[in-house]
Amino acid sequence: MNCETARKQLPLLVYCELSFDEEEALEQHLEACAGCRAERDALKALARLADGAELTPPAGLLEYCRADLRRRLAGEEPLRRPGWWARFCSWRPVAVAWKSAGALALVALGFFAAWLSSGPAVPFSRPVTSRVRYVEPDPRGGVQIVLEETRQRVLNGRIEDEPIRKLLLAAARDREDPGLRVDSIDILKSQCSLADVRGALLAALRGDPNPGVRLKALEGLKAFADEVQTRKALAQTLLNDDSPNVRTMAIDALVQRKEQDVVGVLQQLLRQENNDYIRERSTRALREMRASVETF
């Protein structure tokens, strides 16, 4: 995919209008193209601004208004001559004054409602069941998460905050949005020392269909290549992953400690691998461990 085609598809990516194959091809292009990634980030920022300015009526408002109208029509009384107070209020100078006062009261009410409802986004007082739509690092070292509910809302916090981390873990499992999974894993990899985060990265490495997600998981797991579970996942990736880039990173992580338990894996790899770099890296590692490059 070239940059011209990619940039035509970026608005469709931001609004989730691409097919799975189109989205995966575009994500692979974005991994290698900094200019298109910057264009995607700018479109995401514009979408967030538009969503923030959107006025969404509360759920059920239309049905409530219809029901209220039916009740009022059912109980409507015949028209009567308005009393002296109604005539006084309808007098133009008085009506203008009432409208101005009402408008001022509404502004004040909106201000105080916003002030009372503002506050820290986390911790939550109840479980969050909304879908995570975007995640990205905060310039001040935190994390920004956009939830998709009846309308989107923005949560700010740090990855060390448990509610924020749980949302990131949920986003890392979102099967419909590979871009969201890449961004989530990229943020989570800095906390790979935590068991739940490392488990999410191992699951992504073993089973995520998007190579970009698997590469981000590998970046976080490299520092834990001496652990048995991680080494098993690296060996499985090295032998079975269909992406040369992923296999290359997996072998670099696996052989950096020169452990003897990888000798059989590297020997098996040499029988099936067609990538020259991976073959050369495997051969060199076997020789450094004084092991044969052939299997017996």
Alpha carbon distance 245, 31 (integer Å)? 12
Q: 137 vs 171, which has greater pLDDT?
A: 171
Residue whose structure tokens are 């203008």: 96
Range of lowest pLDDT (62-76, 183-197, 272-286)? 62-76
Residue-wise pLDDT tens digits, 188-224: 999 989 999 999 999 999 999 999 999 999 999 989 9
Q: What is the H or E stretch that residue 131 is in?
A: strand 131-137
Mean pLDDT of the chain: 78
Helical segments of 33-124, H only: 34-53, 61-74, 84-90, 92-117
Q: What is the pLDDT of residue 119?
A: 46
Q: What is the pLDDT of residue 65?
A: 80
**pLDDT band with cut points at 50, 70 and 90 for residue 253:** confident
Tell me the two tokens of residue 214. Answer: 């698997």
Contact between 219 and 188 under an 8 Å Cβ cutoff? The reply is no
Alpha carbon distance 270, 289 (integer Å)? 15
Residue-wise pLDDT tens digits, 79-116: 455 555 555 555 555 444 555 556 566 656 665 555 55
